[in-house]
Structure 1
Amino acid sequence: MAIRRILSLLAGLIFLSGPSAARSRGKEFITAFLCNFKQHQTNAKFELLITGYHPATTVVVTANNSTFRKTIPVNEGVTVSIELPNSVEMLGTNVFDKTVLIRADKDISVSSHSHKDYTAGATVVYPVQQLGTLYYALTPEGDMPDTFKEFAVVASEAPTRVEIHLKGNVRFKGQNYPAGSRLVADLDAFQAIQLQSSADLSGTRVESTKPVAVLSGHSCAKKNTACDHVVEQLLPVSSWGTTFLVPPLSFQSQSDIAYVITAQDTSIRYQNGPTEESQSMVAGQVIQLDMQNPQPLYISADAGIQVLFFFTGATNGGSSYDQLIPLFAGAPEGSRIYDPFLINVPALTSYCRLYHIDGMRQNDNYLVIIANATETRLIKVAKRPLDSILWQPINGTEYSWAEYSLSTGSIALSVEHPSSPFGLFILGGSYRDGYGSAALCSCRSAPSSSALNPGGSAPTSPVLNSNEESLLYPYGTSNGDDKNPKSDDGISPQIFASVPFTFYGKEHHSFYVNNNGMISFGQELSEYTPSPLPLDGGVPFVIPYWADVHNRISGDVFWRQTQDPNVLDRCTKNINQYFPEIPFTAAWALIATWDRVAYFGSKAKSSKVNTFQAVLTTNRKASFVILNYADIQWTTGAANGGDPKTGLGGTPAQAGFDSGDQTNYYVIPASHTPDILNIGKTSNVNIPGRWVFQVNEFVTGITTDCFI
């Protein structure tokens, strides 16, 4: 059946994904350039686009095993192009010393472009702290003579052993490696191995002893039009997500392909139009889902998956490929041939509220935007609202998608929403050319400790670092907490605040702590089904994790209001850390903790339990909420359609804020989707499992909030 979900999708030149959402900003990057069509194809150009986020950033670009070394200044909001020598291209199957190293003294983001006449590819380059040790390759179709499916593994440390479990035949150093065999390569730092084959290599598993970058694609992929070089830097398995949406492209009159890859046995659900379908997948399997304009594709899975969108080529302007190919000079006005490209589709948890984009020179450039249908009017491009744009609903979701045409030629600008994350892609083409990629998320880089976690998971009691307190504030009866009754849909007595707490512009003097993961102001709220916001009932409330808790089965709900100096000092420290521009000294705090709570319908003493916490604090003027997610193992109670054995499925939990005025509210990304299970691995303050907001007037995150 069709399930209503909060989703988003397709992006512009960089952004990131689920459980350990990859981030594009960093200070050190390593990449390589796969073989682009033929070695002697004319007008070869290999370049990096480097975007600065701070004034006076110094960047050093070095081509390994070459005399090329360039130091450049990059300023805030500026994108600089660095052209590399043609010798960086890797030709054939071998181990190469042709990698490119980028280092900066402040955060930057990087994308790479590989261009030859009538063939070009572009990809995001992720910083080294986002690299992983387990990947699955994807090589789209295309069988022209002397073109190859290909991928490369780039080592950032020495020694790195790479084990490649092949899905197609490869010849390497004079030896044949058939499908099903294992190829082992030992790489030094800044070396790369490139494998090429006429056979499909999709689903090939790449494992390494140290973090590596993996780039995958085709030297010249071909389906509907001429061939074109396609390449994408892949995300490690630890950064995969479970919920995706892929919009169609308006100029595609035939079909495109969404590739889905899984690293473990799972079940996926997908919807392309009014009907939802499902399919079981086994570890390492790759499936293709055809996409027909104008229907978007929704995909959800029980475990992490990787989704790539393959644009198969199209003509734009009403003429067919066969009509246009001999008529470049005399083609009808407005007619174009856009050749194939490949995009690594970000998961729902990857969305940002601010992007930097760069269109390609001499190309028709387009944005594809995915946003909550209630938030579309607030999206701006280059600080200007999108007045004349057609938003189309996405079946089964609360989201809409739109395509927006930019000017032809090189262009750099920002796309933003003041508070709500959205998905963005940038893509385009010219005569017999095409490119596409996810957009540059203009936010802080994630901590390396979470990005390199190969399992993509957070411990039960996460530690911020060795010198800081645990994620959770102290709680329990030993710390003076009161405890809610053990009852289904139970609630605390009315708690009168010793200091007023301002929320959405109104002072509140009492509150209730609900077993089902809510704190309401002035009025009880005991609903167990997480309904879409805003509610009609007029009750203002904070929503750490609204789901059907049953603490009679397992767990406790603790709470206390406090003016203890130690607690207030910690609140002051945290808020000053995340909001340094706001003078703040805490005068009061409420700490509510849901400790190892089970879901309704689970078995007695269930091993599936959640631990999370809300800290409300104020200095009598400014008010803040700190949400801490220590261990999230379930999303849904049985009464909301969840599986009694797993606590998953049905109507998943949501987190956010509701002002009670039926207008103003805020929903944390992934709410009402299966990906809310990963909220303990995401953040808007770069600390996995922690979300912090100022709430006294409107709900706002930190000024550079991005969702790791």
Structure 2
Amino acid sequence: MNRRMLFVILAVAAILMPGATTMRAQSTDTSGTDFWLTFPENHTGGAATLSLFIAGSTSTTGTVSIPAITFAMPFTVTAGQVTTVNIPIGAELGTSDVVESKGIHVTALANITVYGFSTIPFTTDAYLGLPTPILGTDYIVLAYTTIFAGSNGSELAIVASADNTTVNITPSAPEGNHLAGVPFPITLNQGQTYQLLDVTNGNDLTGTLISANHPIAVFGGHQCADVPIAFASCNFLVEELTPTATWGQNFFTVPLATRMNGDTFRFLASTDSTNVSVNGAVVATLNRGKFFEQIITGAAQVTADKPIMLMQYSNGGSFDGASADPFMMVVTPAAQYLANYTVTTPATGFSPNFVNITAQTSGVGTIKLDGTAIAPSLFTPIGSSGFSGAQVPLSVGSHNLVGSVPFGTIVYGFSSADGYGYAGGFSLSPIALVTAVTLAPKVSAGSVGAPACLTATVTDQNNMPVSGVRVDFTVTGANPTTGFMTAATNGTAQFCYTGTAGGTDTVTAAVGTITDTATVTWGSVVTTPGTFTPAPGSSTTAVVQPGSTALFTVVFTPNPGFLGPVTFSCANSSIPNTICTVSPATVNITSTAPITLTVSLRTNCTALLPPTPLGPAPLSLPPMWGVPVSLIWIMALGGWLWNRTRRPIAPSNHPAAARNFGWLVPSLALALLVVTWSGCGSSSGNAAIPGAPVTPTGNYNVVITGTSAMGTQSMVLNVRVI
């Protein structure tokens, strides 16, 4: 491979930063603001030229630093463009089984994507860097087999992201003083690195177990590998590996275009007794750390009953007579697909170029390349999996891919004795932790034209919620559709859809191969939010005097399938001088549970003065008594005053009754007037409505209405004022 591979990295660096639909509070994709990286040793016999290629969806600034060699380089990223930072030659790992301080720290003010590029003439490769927040503590190495004793061996590398990191390594093959299958510890501080290189013929570090007490970055690869073994045209291989918590159980692959006789794949298990199948046929049962290699000649579905890592290799040119070199790519689990990507081919040197796409068959025709739907004729069903795959030619330059459903992408191209390939992007949510998906309610009823909602809960083996994973929803039956949501911090993902036809639907919620189902039966079209009925023991008729309040208790029962807010009101325009209210005034309907409403109609009466500070009157007097009682009081008071001016006040030696009798009449009259003024003619003690005359006697209707976006429903109540 020659330096034209540089164009590959420039192409890869333009990968899209995934959108908010696949983000959590902490990012679970391959963009970020903090990275710890390193460069494993390239082909024996020369010092590699090292570079980082940095891109972002927004303009930002940052720094690349290597504390051990006092290297610090600020950089600026312009949105949509690539920034290159050259790394000193001394940063490449050069020894085996030795702790060094060659960690590369990349920080930025906004999200960026970082790629490492290592090249010696005719042996070049690159890797996608993973942000520090998504690093893990449990890894299994995937590399390739050593075939030249004493040089160009299988290798792994580790970088610590925190001080006092204890790493336990269990090599899959003997290396130096370390026995196969026997763990040994190393201790690293932040930025320190460790490389293990196996140059023994036939050995392979694939399957080496690595665990740590703090997050670490792990790399696997080969100084110069022939793929498959014994087919010439070796090339440097390197990938930053994903934590086992992000491995999957369901994969879809499409052959590399223009190649013959298939591609090489490796399946690596994280758990004992893992059964791996290709197109439904079991091909291997693997224990933790064991792998199986197979050539697959067509589009395929790879499944496992426990999480695995799947790697796809481009074979060397001597395998099928093509002018090509090996490269390896992590195959994205279907549960880690995204719904949009931006990809780029090299500017020159590579033709033809392709993007392989794998997606749900239901989404075929909705996936767009640069705004134009990709022809469904390019897609071929992958068995009976419900997924299809396509090899889509790409012109030179940048391209946007957008779909209505999540889909997987691999971009690649070939040239004379050369080639490149990379995944278009992926999520890194902890799908391997998921052991159950529960969909509720199991049985529900919906009304055509109104939405129905179901909630999937994602949990682990301890029944604890798993957040950040994508949940796929598939509806079959009367109203077929699909959708996807990301589980929230409580492990739940809600899916809503609107039925347009009557009948029964089966809704399936899935995280990879873990699923659960529920049914929704759709009835008639919802035109009203619900119905009104009198509450048990209540009446729709009330008899009141002016100044009193008519109270009704009403029950509102939502119609099946209706969801959303309903506003309640009452129309009392036919009843003069009244105030009508409904409580509660607004309710957000989430089920068919009945809602109890209180309707209050306040009538008015005559009041000569505002209510007194003495409070409500203890008696009930008709409003027409107001004026006569007032006249009686005035006449009595006037007569008493006139009489007192004509007669002397009783002397003090008269009996008390005689002295107080003169005050009795005006006092009683005054009390009667207070009753009249403050009581407003009602035992309920309502004050008069300011500025409003008395409510006339008669029979009246009050209309209670519930209003929603779907329509209205009303009920009539009767009020008799006497």
TM-score category by the smaller chain?
0.5 to 0.7
Deviations 1:185-224 (A, max 9, x none): 1112111101010311111100111100000011111133
Aligned partner of 1:38 among 37, 44, 47: 44
3-state SS of paired residue (1:144): coil
Change (3 A) 1:542 1:221: closer
1:231 aligns with 2:231: no
Change (3 A) 1:389 1:226: farther
Distance in 2 (alpha carbons) for counterparts of 1:21 and 1:430: 36
Alignment of 1:581-596 (within 5 A): none
3-state SS of paired residue (1:189): coil
The equivalent of 1:424 in structure 2 is 409
Deviations 1:141-177 (A, max 9, x none): 3513521100101111111111100111212xxxx21
1:153 aligns with 2:158: yes
Alignment of 1:104-183 (within 5 A): 104-145=108-149, 146-171=151-176, 176-183=177-184
For the Cα contact (< 8 Å) 1:158–1:187, is it kept in 2?
yes
Distance in 2 (alpha carbons) for counterparts of 1:69 and 1:515: 49
The equivalent of 2:401 in structure 1 is 415
The equivalent of 1:339 in structure 2 is 325
Please state how far the C-alpha of 1:435 moved relative to its aligned partner: 3.0
Question: Which amino acid letter does the alignment assign opposite residue 143 of structure 1?
Answer: I
Please state how far the C-alpha of 1:384 moved relative to its aligned partner: 4.2
Distance in 1 (alpha carbons) for counterparts of 2:489 and 2:190: 37
Distance in 2 (alpha carbons) for counterparts of 1:237 and 1:77: 32
Deviations 1:642-671 (A, max 9, x none): xxxxxxxxxxxx985554458xxx999973
Distance in 2 (alpha carbons) for counterparts of 1:104 and 1:532: 36
Deviations 1:17-46 (A, max 9, x none): 9999941011101111111112426xx432
For the Cα contact (< 8 Å) 1:267–1:278, is it kept in 2?
no
Question: Which amino acid letter does the alignment assign opposite residue 74 of structure 1?
Answer: V
Please state how far the C-alpha of 1:412 moved relative to its aligned partner: 3.8
Distance in 2 (alpha carbons) for counterparts of 1:630 and 1:350: 20
Change (3 A) 1:629 1:302: farther
Unaligned runs of 5+ in 2: 1-10, 458-471, 518-563, 565-722
3-state SS of paired residue (1:440): coil
1:394 aligns with 2:382: yes
Distance in 2 (alpha carbons) for counterparts of 1:658 and 1:124: 37
Please state how far the C-alpha of 1:284 moved relative to its aligned partner: 2.2
The equivalent of 1:194 in structure 2 is 195
1:261 aligns with 2:300: no
Aligned partner of 1:26 among 22, 27, 32: 32
Change (3 A) 1:22 1:209: same
Deviations 1:588-631 (A, max 9, x none): xxxxxxxxxxxxxxxxxxxxxxxxxxxxxxxxxxxxx9986956
Aligned partner of 1:309 among 302, 307, 312: 312
For the Cα contact (< 8 Å) 1:242–1:674, is it kept in 2?
yes
Distance in 1 (alpha carbons) for counterparts of 2:282 and 2:294: 11
Aligned partner of 1:363 among 343, 350, 357: 350
For the Cα contact (< 8 Å) 1:133–1:210, is it kept in 2?
yes
Question: Which amino acid letter does the alignment assign opposite residue 267 of structure 2?
Answer: V
For the Cα contact (< 8 Å) 1:268–1:299, is it kept in 2?
no
Alignment of 1:167-566 (within 5 A): 167-171=172-176, 176-197=177-198, 198=200, 199-223=203-227, 224-272=231-279, 276-277=281-282, 279-292=284-297, 295-314=298-317, 321=321, 337-360=323-346, 362-364=349-351, 365-387=353-375, 390-407=378-395, 411-417=397-403, 419-440=404-425, 456=433, 491=444, 508=450, 535-538=476-479
Change (3 A) 1:170 1:515: closer
Change (3 A) 1:534 1:192: same
The equivalent of 1:72 in structure 2 is 75
Change (3 A) 1:181 1:537: closer
For the Cα contact (< 8 Å) 2:316–2:325, is it kept in 1?
yes
For the Cα contact (< 8 Å) 2:253–2:299, is it kept in 1?
yes
Question: Which amino acid letter does the alignment assign opposite residue 403 of structure 1?
Answer: Q
Number of residue-to-residue matches in the alignment: 478
Aligned partner of 2:60 among 46, 57, 60: 57
The equivalent of 2:640 in structure 1 is none
Identity %: 23
Alignment of 1:628-667 (within 5 A): 630=490, 656=495, 658-661=497-500
Higher RCO (CA-CA < 8 Å; seq separation 6+): 1
- Provide the alpha-carbon RMSD of the alignment: 4.4
For the Cα contact (< 8 Å) 2:257–2:354, is it kept in 1?
no
For the Cα contact (< 8 Å) 1:348–1:675, is it kept in 2?
no
Unaligned runs of 5+ in 1: 1-10, 322-335, 462-471, 473-482, 496-505, 518-530, 545-624, 633-653, 679-694, 696-708
For the Cα contact (< 8 Å) 1:18–1:350, is it kept in 2?
no
For the Cα contact (< 8 Å) 2:145–2:205, is it kept in 1?
no
Distance in 1 (alpha carbons) for counterparts of 2:486 and 2:90: 51
The equivalent of 1:332 in structure 2 is none
Please state how far the C-alpha of 1:459 moved relative to its aligned partner: 12
Change (3 A) 1:288 1:60: same
Please state how far the C-alpha of 1:228 moved relative to its aligned partner: 0.5
Change (3 A) 1:138 1:248: same
- TM-score normalised by L of structure 2: 0.58
Please state how far the C-alpha of 1:289 moved relative to its aligned partner: 2.6
**Larger helix fraction of residues:** 2
Question: Which amino acid letter does the alignment assign opposite residue 346 of structure 1?
Answer: T
Question: Which amino acid letter does the alignment assign opposite residue 178 of structure 2?
Answer: Y
Distance in 2 (alpha carbons) for counterparts of 1:251 and 1:366: 10
